[in-house]
């Protein structure tokens, strides 16, 4: 695969009280991803180097970090297929009946590394909830998902953002009108894709393209092979519940 982006990474190591600087070249992005791609409200940007430490995946819902975004007795946590994302750990997991599934080679847990968004200065936006169009943030909370086969991105799955929670907060802050709030509420009630043309933004996807560092405009990116694994485990139409936590 042709490499088109060359970055230099400086690694500092202490040896015998002296600082030794190693220069290593990291080639990132294949030809497909190096070309700037625009699809609706999503764009691929050039990533900054970000090294994410190894993180163990949680095994049970009871291990979830506490958050106001979910209730421990919510029946959705025991769904037959629940996509769980921990943004701070850059991990996407697949749960069933409250426990992580083990479908991967060698009985490994269904846990994959992800990449999140960067802002216009190349800094990660992963620590923030999405509020508006163009902020390049990944939304948090409960969402439905569905297939998006017409996307320009590899095997994209659509996240049904904006949620009613986002819409209610925006309406209270006078960022959307009552009509827009009602449209989003009706979509969620009828298990439909919410309007994607509001000031809150839209076209938030799970897609391929690589996960070694943050690079998206708010979407959740995985390695292509990992995304293929996930799609094979989801119901027809990629319709399931998803919980995204900070």
DSSP for 134-185 reads TS-----EEEEEEE-TTSSSTT-EEE-PSPHHHHHHHHHTTSS-HHHHHHHH
pLDDT along the chain (246 residues), means of 10: 37 33 32 33 38 72 97 98 98 98 95 97 96 98 93 89 98 98 98 97 97 97 97 96 98
Tokens 């990533």 locate to: 47
Count Cβ neighbours within 10 Å for each residue of 202-231 and write b for 16 or more, e otherwise. Answer: bbbbbbbbbbbbbbbbbbbbbbbebbebbe
- Tell me what pLDDT residue 246 has: 98
pLDDT number for residue 54: 54
Looking at residue 151, its pLDDT comes to 76
**What residue segments make up the domains of the chain, in order of their start?**
1-33, 36-161+201-245
Q: To which CATH superfamily is domain 36-161+201-245 assigned?
A: L,D-transpeptidase catalytic domain-like (2.40.440.10)
Residues 230/222, Cβ–Cβ less than 8 Å: yes
Q: Identify the pLDDT of residue 89.
A: 97
Q: Does pTM top 0.95 for this prediction?
A: no
What's residue 149's pLDDT? 76
């Amino acid at each position: 695969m042709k490499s088109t982006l060359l970055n230099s990474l400086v690694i500092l190591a202490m040896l015998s009280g002296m600082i030794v600087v190693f220069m290593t070249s990291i080639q990132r992005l294949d030809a497909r991803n190096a070309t700037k791609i625009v699809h609706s409200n999503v764009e691929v940007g050039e990533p900054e180097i970000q090294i994410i430490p190894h993180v163990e995946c949680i095994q049970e819902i009871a291990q979830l970090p506490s958050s106001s975004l979910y209730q421990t007795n919510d029946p959705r946590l025991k769904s037959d297929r629940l996509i769980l994302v921990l943004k701070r750990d850059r991990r996407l997991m697949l749960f069933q009946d409250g426990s992580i599934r083990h479908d991967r080679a060698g009985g490994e847990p269904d846990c994959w590394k992800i990449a999140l968004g960067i802002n216009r200065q190349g800094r990660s936006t992963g620590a923030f909830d999405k509020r508006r169009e163009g902020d390049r943030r990944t939304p948090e909370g409960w969402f439905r998902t569905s297939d998006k086969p017409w996307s320009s991105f590899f095997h994209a799955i659509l996240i049904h953002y904006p949620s009613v929670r986002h819409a209610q907060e925006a309406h209270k802050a006078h960022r959307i009108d009552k009509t827009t709030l009602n449209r989003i509420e009706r979509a969620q009630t009828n298990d439909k894709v919410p309007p994607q043309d509001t000031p809150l933004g839209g076209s938030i996807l799970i897609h391929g393209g690589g996960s070694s560092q943050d690079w998206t405009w708010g979407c959740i990116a995985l390695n292509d092979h990992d995304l293929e694994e996930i799609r094979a485990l989801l119901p027809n139409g990629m319709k399931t519940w998803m919980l995204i936590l900070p």
